[in-house]
Amino acid sequence: MSCGGTYDKRWSKPRQEISCMLKYFLFFFNFTVWTIALTIISLGTYMYAKEFRPVREFSDLAFNPCVALMVIGSCVFAISFLGCAGSLRENVCLLKIFSLCLFASYICLVIVGFLAFILFYSDSASGVSLRTLLMACVVKYHVNDNIKDVVDYIQSQLTCCGVTAQGYRDWSFNALYNCTKSNMAPERCGVPHSCCKQDGLPENSVPSVVCGFGAQEKPVTELVKLIHSSGCLQQLQRAFESNAVIMGAAIGAVILPVCLFVTLSNLLARQIAKQRYLLERQARREERHARRLKHRFRDPLKNKSNRSTETTKMRPYWDNFPGRDGCSRHETMNLSPEANAAWQEKLSARRRMKTFLSAT
């Protein structure tokens, strides 16, 4: 407000730059995702504790779906918490980190898809390929329970056995199923039960464990009636090729919500930063205005106990200023009538100034 009582735009409250709709939309969305991530973490922890398996090597964690659930849920939990807290508390730093982590997670998803493409179509001579990975799983079939579950799932779902074209012979690389004379196990020259055919069996039933015993020594004509003789390498490549378009479209579709929420979080961060700038500028203006009002009409003689240097410099002028009786402060100083009239006029001007200051 101005001195006359009219509206002054300079001293009004800064306009609201933060959109409440945008703020609470980001908050409720991230809160929902945060709740879902917490549920996934709880489910993974419960499943891991229910079927606890000791961790002896990295593959025990890499092939454990419970660990995958906990890791993915933890990442989503952390990212959604940043967005939830940043939007609710109007924290620019948290919103920036949220948008950066969201974009980085999408980049990681694209990299994983690219690595999967390389893994499925790379040559085994390069050292890292799908064939070498499957052969390593065959070798450690009975060593690692997580690998055993993954191999059984692949062989039962894709109706395959082993890795190569005559995949059932690949199980000779396993210490339990090889045909060496030193192997005295009952599973010698056999294959896992997941290689057995389920023709004639009830749905969701498990084939007999002994159906694959001695399968590597049987003729092919008899073998094809009992087990799946083709390898899983070609089956996995066919499944990947048939679903490659769907997976690529899914990865491409994820970029739209990612870009949307990155843009919205950056927009909210800019609004918060601008609002803070306006408030700080308003505070600086009010501070300068108060300082100017305090020092605009400064009376050096008002407080005699705290005289400044400026008052000391003006002492000769005030010493010659007439007192209430109209005479000079120096009693020995004689003024002419004309000079006395001038000092009286200055004295009345000073009194009017004091009256004005006391009124304001």
168-223: pLDDT as tens digits: 888 888 888 888 888 788 888 888 888 888 764 555 555 566 777 878 888 877 88
Overall fold of domain 130-234: Cd81 Antigen, Extracellular Domain; Chain: A (1.10.1450)
Other residues' Cβ atoms within 10 Å of the Cβ of residue 121: 12
Q: Which residue has the higher pLDDT, 196 or 298?
A: 196
**Confidence at 291, pLDDT banded by 50, 70, 90:** confident
Do residues 131 and 121 make contact, with C-beta atoms less than 8 angstroms apart? no
Average pLDDT over residues 64-75: 91
pLDDT of residue 317: 45
- CA distances for 251 relative to 88, 130, 255, angstroms: 30, 22, 7
Q: What is the pLDDT of residues 266-283, one digit of tens each?
A: 999 999 999 888 888 888
Three-state DSSP class for residue 227 = strand
Alpha-carbon span 129 to 132, nearest angstrom = 5
Name, in order, each residue with C-beta under 8 angstroms of 140's C-beta and a sequence gap of 6 or more: 59, 147
Backbone angles phi and psi of 227, in degrees to 5:
-130, 170
Q: Does 310 have pLDDT greater than 60?
A: no
Q: Which residue has the higher pLDDT, 177 or 128?
A: 177
**Confidence at 290, pLDDT banded by 50, 70, 90:** confident
pLDDT of residue 98: 96
Do residues 129 and 122 make contact, with C-beta atoms less than 8 angstroms apart? yes
Most confident of 12-26, 50-64, 82-96: 82-96
pLDDT of residue 26: 95
Average pLDDT over residues 299-310: 50
CB neighbour class for 138 (10 Å; exposed up to 12, middle 13-18, buried from 19): buried
What value does the mean pLDDT of the chain take? 80
Q: What is the pLDDT of residues 135-166, one digit of tens each?
A: 988 988 888 888 898 899 999 888 899 888 88
Picking from 51-60, 69-78, 229-238, 333-342, which range would have the lowest pLDDT averaged per residue?
333-342
Alpha-carbon span 73 to 325, nearest angstrom = 90
Backbone angles phi and psi of 52, in degrees to 5:
-70, 135
**Confidence at 14, pLDDT banded by 50, 70, 90:** low
Most confident of 29-38, 64-73, 236-245, 336-345: 29-38
Q: Which residue has the higher pLDDT, 158 or 225?
A: 158
Q: Does 92 have pLDDT greater than 80?
A: yes
Average pLDDT over residues 315-344: 56
pLDDT of residue 303: 52
Q: Does 338 have pLDDT greater than 50?
A: yes
Average pLDDT over residues 42-68: 84
Q: Does 350 have pLDDT greater than 90?
A: no
pLDDT of residue 332: 39
pLDDT of residue 69: 92
Cβ-defined contacts of 279-284 (< 8 Å, 24+): 279/14, 281/14, 282/13, 282/14
What does the block give as tokens for 232? 């899983």
Q: Does 287 have pLDDT greater than 60?
A: yes
Q: Which residue has the higher pLDDT, 238 or 63?
A: 238
Picking from 122-131, 184-193, 221-230, 248-257, which range would have the lowest pLDDT averaged per residue?
122-131
Percent residues over pLDDT 70 in the chain: 79
